[in-house]
Structure 1
Amino acid sequence: MKTVNPTSDAIAQVIKNTPKDQPVVMLNLLKFREQAAYEDGREGGSGWAAYKEYGRGALPCLQAVGAELVWSGAPTGTLIGPQGEQWDEVLLVRYPSLDAFMSMIGSDDYKAIVHHRTAAMEDSRLVPMLAD
């Protein structure tokens, strides 16, 4: 099943299961559309280009809550996973806490740029993990 944005049920479950006072690393698995698909119908180039636009705006949002990009890279395949499942980009982003992540996605600055991510994504996963 392809997914792009979190549901309110998924957010509620993560909030319930994640300690508030511990760092969280978000595993991002990203598959880009060939062509960006903006809800207002405007042309946006490739999904990759739309995601780069999102990234330019997201970086200050990350920094504002004390988060940092830990690692990013392009996978070369999948050794364990559904046949044919391929991701274009993998990111690890470390947040000081789940509250910091929630604060970021609720900010006006983030809300102003997240449409680029939605337009860019064909499929994605966002997995919060407790950091050591």
Structure 2
Amino acid sequence: MPYTHLDPRRLHAIDGVPTGEPVTMLNLVRFREQADYGPDSSHEPCSGRTAYLERYVPAFRAIAPTFGGASPVYLGDAHDLLVGPDDERWDLVALMRYPDLPSLQAFLDDERYLREAAPHRVAALADWRFQVTSAR
């Protein structure tokens, strides 16, 4: 089953992350062939990859500094999966660091993010995994 949307209930039920410590989010991304903005969209048609890399990522980077230094750690193309189901594939791996869990939650709840960045992510994605991690 593909997943493309963030459930706000899960975002605010995260448990076990040390208070005040940075969190790094692991993103596994599979793109749609064509971005899906819906029938009434004013966006020019493009691939899911283009919607993500040329629309979502720049919007994310423009908003992130206002949230205590949220920043990309790594963004790279995914290649062969060596361990896992044969039919599972990902197009992109991204690691994003946030100063702490409340900063992540505030960022993803922010009206500017929801208006200017999230629509491009949703249009771009065929499937997505978004995992909270913290350093040991």
Task: Output the TM-score relative to the length of structure 1.
Answer: 0.90
Query: Partner residue of 1:74?
Result: 77
> Which deviates more, 34-43 or 18-27?
34-43
Distance in 1 of aligned mates of 2:19 and 2:126: 31
Query: Partner residue of 2:90?
Result: 87
Query: Partner residue of 1:104?
Result: 107
Query: Partner residue of 1:49?
Result: 50
Query: Partner residue of 1:35?
Result: 34
Counterpart amino acid of residue 68 in structure 1: S
Shift of 1:24: 0.3
Give a deviation string over 1:63-121, Cα, whole Å, max 9, x none.
Answer: 22111111111121111111121111100111110111111112122011211100000
In structure 1, stretches of 5+ residues that fail to align are none
| Partner SS for 2:112 | helix
Contact 2:31–2:127 (CA under 8 A) maintained in structure 1 = yes
| Partner SS for 1:22 | coil
Query: Partner residue of 1:21?
Result: 20
| Partner SS for 1:13 | coil
Shift of 1:31: 0.4
Residues 1:118 and 2:119 are matched in the alignment: no
In structure 2, stretches of 5+ residues that fail to align are none
Aligned residue-pair number: 131
Shift of 1:18: 2.3
Contact 2:74–2:96 (CA under 8 A) maintained in structure 1 = yes
* Identity %, equivalent residues: 34
- Report the aligned-residue RMSD: 1.6
Counterpart amino acid of residue 121 in structure 2: R
Q: 1:101 to 1:12 in 2, by over 3 A?
A: closer
Counterpart amino acid of residue 51 in structure 1: Y
Distance in 1 of aligned mates of 2:126 and 2:96: 20
Contact 2:12–2:105 (CA under 8 A) maintained in structure 1 = no
Distance in 1 of aligned mates of 2:39 and 2:10: 26
Contact 2:47–2:124 (CA under 8 A) maintained in structure 1 = yes
| Partner SS for 2:13 | helix
